[in-house]
Structure 1
């Protein structure tokens, strides 16, 4: 289950006006949720959801597929945006960032947050305080259908290969759809009717948090963004 501090963050991050904490190194500036907005809907026809970085180095590596299944269908993806204004070299910035991304499975108030285990996680080896999730050094995660994963991540593998072989200084673009002012990327597999959407994630380990209602039904799947928060408000 989520620790109290994490639970407080997850309960507040999709509530406009909520203060999540203060900017790191600036105890007088609050990080405040300013907008919660729909980014897109993604299709998960298999009901098997991958929550992982699309930049897997090993082409044959297995993506992190959640053990929990969701009903096959299309799901809304929301973003929680925060602002924490700051000044740098005489110029002022809003500090606007994506604090968390949420895949809505069904309506319902979340009563419990728990870590999303992967199909091959060994729960018997977990100890109190351990975290499990996906790792990334690009600060990018994604939601995508497991059965279409090789096709959905092909643009990222192709981009990496082109970057390795491109002439220095040459511009290389990705065959993805930009959303949310460039904060998100979308890939569609029309043959399978499946999609992938990327989102901001914490560099290193990111946890997919499962929000369940009082009756135990899965309501949402949330991944925190890369945030410069020092303390919770």
Structure 2
């Protein structure tokens, strides 16, 4: 039987187009702001690293936020991370970034305009036939207003994929502050300004990526309803009521 999703979660035409186009090298995504003559083009898809998710429970959230760090320093309970309601098969998955370029001039200086269009956790090579918003475990579908997308927020413009079962250990390097100043993190530096933290005791990882002010999580489903991809976007066309 072909998968049929909940219409309340379905990506609208603009969002669905963006999600497909962002991962198509050479595709045209629009034009540079204030310059309709210069196109923004998908320059390529980069595999940044792989991530281990042994629990099958996935966090897609900021690795920290200002309020969280303050509470952590005071020894107070911090908010739980945004764990997705959908579970995935335990395994090792590819983390990929779709890059775009749209050259522009600013006060006489020229820039290449390279940006991250979207970040993808690739679970399988199965063809995606539909996209829907990825709810968190605490989201209530009946309370989602038409045209609104549940999302995570990030004070530092950073998001992450992480195994939920090892979250406390994996996120700890991002909560290390002294006198309000971040302590240098003992993390693995990756391409695209990403970082990785490993928990060898649980064989689990956390991988960061750029997420301007946060991001919306999208699930790409196959004809059988399996999740083939989890994509995070920031500042893109949203769903339509």
Normalised by the length of structure 1, the TM-score is 0.88
Q: Secondary structure at the match of 1:207?
A: strand
Q: Which runs of 5+ in 2 are unaligned?
A: 1-9, 73-77
**How far apart are residue 226 of structure 1 and its match?**
5.7
Normalised by the length of structure 2, the TM-score is 0.86
Partner of 1:42: 51
Partner of 1:126: 144
- Equivalent of 1:164 in 180, 187, 197: 180
1:176 aligns with 2:187: yes
Q: Point out 4+ residue stretches in structure 1 off by more than 6 angstroms.
A: none
- Equivalent of 1:146 in 160, 164, 171: 164
- Equivalent of 1:13 in 16, 22, 26: 22
C-alpha contact (below 8 Å) 2:95/2:122 kept by paired residues: yes
Alignment of 1:210-229 (within 5 A): 210-225=219-234
Alignment of 1:41-190 (within 5 A): 41-56=50-65, 57-58=67-68, 59=72, 60-158=78-176, 161-162=177-178, 164=180, 172-181=183-192, 183-190=193-200
User: How many residues were matched structurally?
Assistant: 219
Q: Whole-Å Cα distance in 2 between the matches of residues 90 and 100 of structure 1?
A: 29
Q: Whole-Å Cα distance in 2 between the matches of residues 140 and 36 of structure 1?
A: 19
Partner of 1:169: none
**How far apart are residue 129 of structure 1 and its match?**
1.1
Q: Which runs of 5+ in 1 are unaligned?
A: 167-171
C-alpha contact (below 8 Å) 1:99/1:226 kept by paired residues: no
